[in-house]
Amino acid sequence: MNEPQREPVPGGAEPRLLVFLHVPLKQRAFQGQLQAALPGVSVSAVGRPADFERGLEDRPDAVLTLPIVLAAHHLAATLQGLHKGAADEPYVLAGVDAAPDPARVVTVGVIDSLGRDGMAAFVTNLLGAHPKIERVTKVEDLLPLLQLQRVEAIVLPARLLEEVAAPSRLSLVARPLAPKVGLPAVASLGGGGGPIVQAVRRLPGSVTGELGVNEWR
Amino acid sequence: MALSRRWFLATVPLAGLGACSSSRPLVRGGAGPLEVASSKAAGAAKGMILVAMPETVQTREVWTGLRDELARDYDLVAVRIEGPEAVADLAAAMARYQPNGVVLMNNPTVAAYRAYQQQCGQQRFPPAVVVMTSFFDGHLPQLVTATGISYEIPLITVVTNLRQVISSPVEKVGVIVRPSLRGFVQRQAALAAREKVQVIEQPVSASPNSSEIKWALRRLKHHIDALWILNDDRLLTPRLIVDGWLPGLNERPYYATIVGAAALVSPHQSFGTFAVLPDHTALGVQAAGMLFDLADNRWELPAGAPVQLPVSTTTTVDLVQVRERFSLRADGLQHVDRIVE
């Protein structure tokens, strides 16, 4: 196996990458995977909007997150993740035993990327309705919302449905949603951003697959 | 003699919610409640929320979750409530801050708030959200205007976590239970049935000895895939652990044991295989969601507002024990927060 090339960094300090993405593995494991695949880059992975905001205050050289999060913080993507040539991906509304009706669902669970108000707008845009929203900060927490009957349905990227359902004996049934959501992107923010962008371009497929990405543009 | 601020606050009549109208002063003398953290709303505050808590790593994490969610819209203040002055400090804090909503963390704080309410007599109280309180799943602990989140992780969640880590099936779960907790176990079993989990109860007496624990383990072990060990202080005394649990658990056939305290997972003793614990920061976020709902309801607690179950957990695994006795799923360790080896 080829070792990833170490990128020279201006000034000698390791450039810092702040990652705010939700993947179907623990943050400890995700950060470890990214750190191993990005030698010479200091990686910090967070899972909550408030932690991302605090991370931004520490002036990282680049951030890797969803375009909707970049937009909410008035940041521009330098490098866009793609899957089969598309920069966005389908989402689904999933419930137990029957596909939920987006127009009638009263409570939905969703992974929190934007905080209370931002997620309300996000879900409204996806469903065309205004259900009560229960936000969680980990992919794995979507299933308990259904198991404990806290919500009628969950909103998530279609690619994560199988992972969420895997440990359960519940029968999850999904309804595709028409609007698509942008795939992860990198925004370069500081002097070390350029080398980070180049390093992210070379991430192995085993890591980018967790992000729903198979190439970068 | 100058009056102390605390005595003053406790004896001046206050009309709003949170001020006790008892004619009997609840507090006198002393320095008053210690404010351990606070946060002011970014703009005009939509209300004041008082957080009553002891100072521990876990309560600080809950506070972080609360603050991150609520601080933009609400003024928040956390006061330290512990020790013999707990009731007096709570009374002083309620009078001083006149909160719209209250968060109570842990059993002694809830006990102090209950005493405060009883001393106040019949009156209206702001809604309270209780967290970090043991076996608070189906009933309110004699509080007025209170709801909350139970501290015990639902069995259904525990089993789901275990299924992500070990490859053997987890369908039959045994539990040793004293009479006082059978109701709790039966409610958990009903919920877990949704995930096709069968709970096999082994009742023991109210004060079991080591022999009874060993007997109960032997009765269970040929019929279960995993053992769920309740966080029951009466079952987990040092003596029972050493003389009852450990000898029983280390007899073949082995099965995974799930505990509710990280300290019970150790590579030096094959006691807990997995600990599934609340994610305390997420618990704060969940409690904040309840406070948002209360605020939307004009700080009125809806009749029959249910106690919630905790949604988010962390998992600790004894990797030495797992490797010796069970087989891990290929990606099992990617679903574990903390590995002990």
Question: CATH number of the domain that B29 lies in?
Answer: 3.40.50.280
3-state class of B75 per DSSP? Answer: strand
Write the ipTM: 0.91
Residue in chain B lying closest to A32 (CA): B334
Counting one residue from A and one from B, how many pairs have CB atoms under 8 Å apart? 73
From B313, which residue of chain A is nearest by alpha-carbon distance?
A141
Judge whether B139 lies within some domain.
yes
Judged by a CB distance cut-off of 8 A, whether residue B326 touches chain A is no
Cα radius of gyration (chain A): 18
Check whether residue B195 and residue B243 sit in a common domain. yes
Residue B13 has pLDDT above 90, yes or no: no
Task: Give the pLDDT score at B139.
Answer: 57
| pLDDT (average), residues B113-141 | 84
B157 interfacial to chain A (CB closer than 8 Å): yes
φ, ψ dihedrals at A202, nearest 5°:
-100, 10
Q: Answer yes or no: is B207 within a domain.
A: yes
pLDDT at B77 over 70: yes
The token pair that represents B65 in the structure block: 């979750």
pLDDT digits (tens, 9 = 90+) for B141-153: 688 899 999 999 9
Q: How far apart are CA A145 and CA A151, in angstroms?
A: 6
Residue B124: which pLDDT band, with cuts at 50, 70 and 90? confident
Q: What is the pLDDT of residue A50?
A: 97
Asked whether residue B56 carries a pLDDT value surpassing 80, the answer given is yes
Instruction: Measure CB to CB from residue B311 to each of A145, A167, A168 and give the nearest one.
Output: A145
Quick check: B164 contacting A, CB < 8 Å? yes
Q: Cα dist. A198→A74, B68, B231, B282 in Å?
A: 22, 34, 50, 35
Count other C-beta atoms under 10 Å from residue A198's C-beta: 12
| Bridge partner residues of B148 (DSSP) | B130
Q: Pick the residue of B70, B307, B311 with the most A CBs within 10 A to test the interface with A by mutation.
A: B311
- Separation in Å, CA of A215 to nearest CA in chain B: 24
Mean pLDDT of B57-85: 95
B182, B321: one domain: yes
User: Average pLDDT of B185-204?
Assistant: 96
- This prediction has a pTM of 0.90
Inform me whether the pLDDT recorded for B10 exceeds 80: no
Task: Write out chain A residues lying below 8 Å of B196, CB-based.
Answer: 169
Domain A16-85+183-216 classified CATH 2.60.120? no
Report which of residues A66 and B323 the model is more confident about: A66
B21 and B119 fall within a common domain:
yes
Judge whether B309 lies within some domain: no
In chain A, the residue whose alpha carbon lies closest to the alpha carbon of B312 is A141
Intervals of chain A under pLDDT 70? 1-12
CA distances from B153 to A95, A128, B201 (A): 23, 34, 18
pLDDT at residue A11, rounded to an integer: 54
B22 and B107 share one domain: yes
Q: How far is A211 from chain B (nearest CA, A)?
A: 15
Residue range(s) occupied by CATH 3.40.190.10 in chain A:
88-181
Report d(CA B313, CA B280) in Å as an integer: 8
Distance between A207 CA and the closest CA of chain B, angstroms: 13
* Domain match, B121 and B239 both: no
Domain that holds residue B131: 5-151+281-296
pLDDT score of B17 = 52
Among all chains, which residue has been given the structure tokens 């507090």? B27
Specify the pLDDT at position B40: 87
Are B108 and B63 contained in the same domain?
A: yes
pLDDT-derived band at B270 (thresholds 50, 70, 90) equals: confident
For B311, the closest of A25, A116, A150 (CB atoms) is: A150
Percent of all residues in chain B with a pLDDT value above 70, rounded to a whole number: 89
pLDDT at B137: 63
User: What is the structure's pLDDT at B142?
Assistant: 80
Q: Please give the share of chain B, as a percent, with pLDDT higher than 90.
A: 71
Among chain A residues, CA nearest to B70? A116
> Distance of alpha carbon A94 from its chain centroid, rounded?
18
Q: Is the pLDDT of residue B4 over 70?
A: no
**B195 neighbourhood in chain A, CB within 8 Å:** 147, 168-170
Q: How confident is the model at residue B134 (pLDDT cuts 50, 70, 90)?
A: confident
Is B285 found in the same domain as B244? no
CB contact under 8 Å between A147 and B163, yes or no, is no
Give the C-alpha separation, B195 to B217, whole Å: 24
Q: Smallest CA–CA separation between B240 and chain A, in Å?
A: 33
Nearest to B312 among A136, A167, A169 (CB): A136
Mutate to test the interface with B, among A57, A140, A149, A154 (most CBs of B within 10 A): A140
| Domain annotation covers residue B19 | yes
Number of domains in chain B: 2
* The two structure tokens encoding residue B305: 């507002």
- List the single range of A19-23, A124-128, B23-27, B32-36 with lowest mean pLDDT: B23-27
**Is B279 in contact with B314 (CB distance < 8 Å)?**
yes
CB contact under 8 A, B191 and A29: no
Is residue A25 within 8 A of residue A160, CB to CB? The reply is no
Question: Are residues B217 and B126 part of one domain?
Answer: no
Calculate mean pLDDT across residues B328-339. 91
Residue B77 included in any domain: yes
> Is B114 strand, coil or helix?
helix
B307 is a domain residue: no
Q: Are residues B163 and B265 in the same domain?
A: yes
What kind of fold does domain A88-181 have according to CATH?
Answer: D-Maltodextrin-Binding Protein; domain 2 (3.40.190)
Residue A151 with chain B: CB contacts under 8 Å? none
B interface test, pick of A108, A116, A132 with most B CB neighbours within 10 Å: A116
B163 and B138, same structural domain?
no
Contacts of B331 in chain A (CB under 8 A): 25
* B46 lies within 8 A of chain A by CB: no
